[in-house]
Amino acid sequence: MKAFSLNEYKNGQLKAGLQNSDNFAPLPLPMQVPEKYFDSLESEILKKTVEANAMPGFNPALLPQSLPFTVPADYFSRLESEVLKKTSEAIEPALSLKAENIFTVPEGYWDHLLLRIMERIRKPETAWGRALRFLNAPLPKYSFAGGLALSVAVFVYMLAPVSTADNLNDVSDKDIVAYLEQNMNADITDEISAVAAQSPNTKSLSWQSQLKGKLSDKKADIEAELTE
């Protein structure tokens, strides 16, 4: 059997109360009070307080009717204005000032304002003005800026120099050999061979040596043909 948790119970009751009413509903209690008890409670308390003054040993007549201190004549009638005066002297002059407006407008300004606004409303907007207003709106503005940044990035990327070694990495060994076999030029093949040998991405040494062998064979053939 699940243990009873007082906190859980209370929270559940509060939650139920809050759900049933717009305002805070007190926890339901099993006790009841007489009808309209709370309506008369205040007057009951007052009555009891008055009765308490008549309790044995307490005699209001024995309380002193006046104090041994005196104040100057009209003191209390002047007190308020004195306090106000002292306060206004103590606080900063600016904040005790009335909120006065120090700004002015040219003469006849208010009469012309309405006319000027209506003129501007009636004036047809130019195509340039419409375009500017459109470009000033947040979405087109940021889209345009983003597009521009992207275009610049693509342009820069495309202009970046690509090394011969990187180019060769993208071409298969087979294609290189086929190309070299078809387009023989000693200088170029030596260069490519050298780059391929230096490249860290060169796939295998066997390919390199195979290529070198082929190239030197071809070179020898060409030289032989030329001497003949």
Partner 1 sequence: MEDHEILEKFAAEDTRNYAFNMLVRKYRQRVYWHIRKMVIDHDDSNDLTQDVFIKVWNNLGNFRSDSQLFTWIYRIATNECLTFLNRKRRKFFIPMHDVEAELSDKLGSSDQISGDDIQLKLQKAILKLPEKQRLVFNMKYFDDLKYEDMSEILGTSVGALKASYHLAVKKIEAYMTGT
Residues at the interface with partner 1 (CB under 8 A): 91-95, 97, 99-106, 109-110, 113-114, 116-118, 120-121
- Residue 18 C-beta: closest distance to partner 1, Å: 23
- Residue 127 C-beta: closest distance to partner 1, Å: 18
Q: Which is nearer to partner 1, 69 or 103 (CB)?
A: 103
Q: Which is nearer to partner 1, 39 or 111 (CB)?
A: 111
CA distances from 158 to 65, 150, 152, 153, 171 (A): 103, 12, 10, 9, 19
Q: Which is nearer to partner 1, 67 or 127 (CB)?
A: 127
- Residue 38 C-beta: closest distance to partner 1, Å: 32
Q: Which is nearer to partner 1, 47 or 86 (CB)?
A: 86
Q: Which is nearer to partner 1, 66 or 101 (CB)?
A: 101
The C-alpha torsion from 197 through 198 and 204 to 210, rounded to 10°, is 0
- Residue 155 C-beta: closest distance to partner 1, Å: 22
d(CA 160, CA 180): 27
Element (H, E) at 186: helix 186-198
Q: Which residues contact 144 (CB under 8 A, 6 or more apart)?
A: 135
Q: Which residues contact 214 (CB under 8 A, 6 or more apart)?
A: 177, 180, 181
Residues 212 and 178: beta-carbon distance below 8 Å:
no
DSSP state of 119: H
